Structure 1
């Protein structure tokens, strides 16, 4: 039997990464594609704008539950196996979305699309089992860039297709793209080589799922009624109790769903905390920036009265700059270390938010912040999951990167609720709009969050090689 040469092995790994890049491009495409179609979907189903907000909420809730579970099962049974299951579920969800006759069926379809969020952690598990170091970082950067570019393409194509086709054929487009991914993952993507020999912690998974659902429901309630509402308070208290119970259970069980001691190690907890703080700005300010851009300065004293088309271009520009940052982070990390590239990312993001707070009246300044924050965010999007994978035990790459994804989403949910309360507190008398003070407060909160992340990253110990990093985690846990 002929032993593969290093060049042949490198070519096979590059081919695998290339196929996974297409899969992740599809993931981004699906996330962006439906956004311009919300109005058409609501009209097709005969539901209100308020009802259609559950279109995204249900998928977020499903992702919060399935990402930790499927990523952990990937560590146990194989990341490709779970990726296959996740892709088949998403294919079923996109088909059901196209043919859903009413809102309940549509929401059931969105539940099936929830595993879309676990594709990236599972892909990182597949890649990380075959290549580490600088090559592994570049591969992760390519996956994240593909995700970001895919979201832009999805939003653009979704807008055009929604105008050109009836709603059912338009909703079938994602199914065709996902079907191509099914063929790829079932034929040419290899299985990961690392396994964790542990039992399935069903109690831990159940507690985690209940806790995440309670947190997200409580935060959604807070967005509409504030944190003083009784339903919000009770839900968040229940969530806190469940999370505490989950942690206590994980500390005593032999094969935990999430290794709390590793997560809380000095090497990893600042990185996870940074992921949460980054998510606050990444997801929490999306609506804030849209309403600010669209505000009429002649009416409320701020904003630029931009059309939805121009706002879409700004959003696309920010995403494309982020894709560049994600693609370049590995090269920057080679010169500055992974901690250095992360500190650069949060530093740029903090500067951008400060500039918004003091220079929001100037459109050139705002454009500058789009570029600065986009590039800084791209560095974080690429470097955070790559570093989490490097610092985690090799047999726990899936759950480690899945937890990063969950914390990033949770940070966005917390910020969304807090920012809604902030903007309500600064509401202009007799209008539904906030004063500019509300927006400035949001940007300063984001700047403070990134400043805190900068300080946290100063204590991260990164030595370069994966094995050394894992030994660092093991030493911290011991």
Structure 2
């Protein structure tokens, strides 16, 4: 489960160091190579809940095996792709292929817990979250090593042995569960959901007045999706059940808000360190490393404790403190102050994602655990895209100190909303009991 779940973050993070050599090799502009990032994000955000629903219906084993096999096929395509278009297709296949493991893992953990009557597996959930955070840290470093050894195509070919390992382990270890309830696939609902999400995400990737039709299209498709799901006998997303599950809806909102802050800080602060503070790219990367190490340490220490509400409150408070710290920074700020801000932000990195994952485990309908877990990942990517739009808006004229301070105020408001969604939610206190 852990190996399959890290396929998505490792492919997301390795590409960061490969965009420039890919552009040089294929004669592509930065705007063109950006589609390598966009393709994976779009496919993953759509694929996670769709494949998660298939996991709920047919069990985790077949979807896990098909998904990881698709990862290997994408690795082969990327290894021999003659043009940027084929590379984008390989990234889309990677997005769909890597969307299977996390919903399958969450479904399997919940179903095994119910089958055995065992206590909530907080250790397993912590290990799953920790594996994703760890690989996200080493992804750029791993990508740089692979490119140094065999060129940029190695970041695609590395998926072939990873896929093979997942297929072998999955075939040997995953239980052969029975097929889910005999109900038809809601293909129209899935298509409308995908169209709504793609239109919304394309607008968030480049919010401009000229793209006004994208949010309008997203709204129209969203309304059609809502009508379809409320009338369908076996809906893709049961909006009637979801609408009555206020705690789960709050968890999705917290996931979105917390990752807006997380991604905006990760990319915005790094960009300011290079342009506003004058650090080299390697020095900025080295300065950011303690944030990830702090997140891993915090997750390891707190993971076995089921205090979801406390994690979210401490995480939100730490995010607010870190955002306030950005207001103290300037072009001549000492390194110790830059590092202190990084260490403070590392605390919520290790708390919020784990807390939201554990909350969803107890709040979601067990029969729809796969699709619910997929939606959690979708809200994470929506937060990442909103963060990207915020960075573009506040750094319109470069990553200046004034832009960083304005970004800090925006993130402080976002953290305030996160705390507003968390404080009155008394259901969080009952999780794990």
TM-score in terms of structure 2 length: 0.91
Q: CA deviation at 1:362?
A: 4.2
1:248 aligns with 2:227: yes
- Flag the 1:373–1:386 CA change in 2: closer, same or farther, 3 A: same
Number of corresponding residues:
425
Is residue 2:9 matched to residue 1:28? yes
**Offset of residue 319 of structure 1:** 2.2
Shift of 1:32: 2.5
d(CA) in 1 for partners of 2:164, 2:102:
17
Contact kept in structure 1, 2:45 and 2:377, CA below 8 Å: no
Residue 183 of structure 1 aligns to a residue in which SS? helix
3-state SS of 2:233 partner: coil
Question: Quick one: distance in 2 between partners of 1:189 and 1:91?
Answer: 19
Structure 2 match to 1:345: 315
Gaps of 5+ in 2: none
Alignment partners' CA distance in 1, 2:164 and 2:23: 26
Relative to structure 1, the CA distance from residue 438 to residue 72 in structure 2 (aligned partners, 3 Å threshold; closer, same or farther) is same
Supply the distance in 1 between the matched residues of 2:45 and 2:354 (Cα, whole angstroms): 21
Cα separation, partners in 2 of 1:196 and 1:344, compared to 1, 3 Å: farther
Change (3 A) 1:81 1:316: farther
User: Aligned runs of 1:317-328 on 2, under 5 Å?
Assistant: 317-328=290-301
Q: Is structure 2 residue 380 aligned with structure 1 residue 399?
A: no
The aligned runs of 1:183-262 (5 Å cut-off) are 183-191=168-176, 195=180, 198-222=183-207, 226=208, 229-230=209-210, 232-262=211-241
- Pair 1:438-2:403 in alignment: yes
Alpha-carbon displacement from aligned partner over 1:256-298 (angstroms, at most 9, x marks no partner): 2112234332222211111111121223343312210102xxx
CA distance in 1, matches of 2:290, 2:163: 25
Deviation at 1:181, TM superposition (A): 1.6
1:385 is matched with: 357
Deviations 1:35-87 (A, max 9, x none): 22222222222222221111111111111221111001111111222121211
Query: What corresponds to 1:288 in structure 2?
Result: 268
Structure 1 SS opposite 2:130? helix
**Structure 2 partner of 1:14:** none
CA distance in 2, matches of 1:401, 1:189: 19
Q: CA RMSD in A?
A: 2.3
From 462, 465, 469, the equivalent of 2:428 is: 462
Distance 1:327 1:192, change over 3 A: farther
Quickly say closer, same or farther: Cα 1:247–1:358, change in 2 above 3 A: farther
Of 409, 421, 446 in structure 1, the residue corresponding to residue 381 of structure 2 is 409
Change (3 A) 1:216 1:28: closer
1:411-451 Cα offsets, whole Å, 9 max, x none, are: 22123223312322xx3xxxxx2432221111221122122
Q: Is the 8 A contact 2:308 2:431 kept in 1?
A: no
Greater alpha carbon shift after TM alignment, 135-144 vs 307-316: 307-316
The 3 A distance-change label for structure 1 pair 76 and 155 is same
Highest relative contact order (Cα 8 Å, sep 6+), 1 or 2? 2
* Aligned residues of 2:58 and 2:179 also touching (Cα < 8 A): no
8 Å contact 1:283–1:412 — kept in the other structure? yes
CA contact (8 A) 1:148 1:320 kept: no
Which residue in 2 is equivalent to 1:100? 81
Deviation at 1:114, TM superposition (A): 0.6
Could you say which residue in structure 2 is the equivalent of 1:472?
A: none
Q: How far apart, CA to CA, are the structure 1 residues paired with 2:111 and 2:299?
A: 21
CA distance in 2, matches of 1:315, 1:398: 33
Task: Assess, with a 3 A threshold, how the Cα gap between structure 1 residues 440 and 233 changes in structure 2: closer, same or farther.
Answer: same
Separation in 2, partners of 1:393, 1:173: 36
Partner of residue 32, structure 2: 51
Moved more, 138-147 or 313-322: 313-322
My pick for the range that moved more, 339-348 or 261-270, is 261-270
Cα 1:195–1:364 change in 2 (3 A) is: farther
TM-score relative to the length of structure 1: 0.83
Residues 159 and 344 of structure 1: is their aligned pair in 2 closer, same or farther, counting only changes over 3 Å? same
Asked whether the equivalents of residues 145 and 323 of structure 1 are also in contact (C-alpha less than 8 Å), the reply is yes
CA contact (8 A) 1:97 1:171 kept: yes
Alignment match, 1:121: 103
In 2, distance between residues paired with 1:170 and 1:391?
37
Look up the match of 1:355.
325
- Matching residue of 2:166: 181
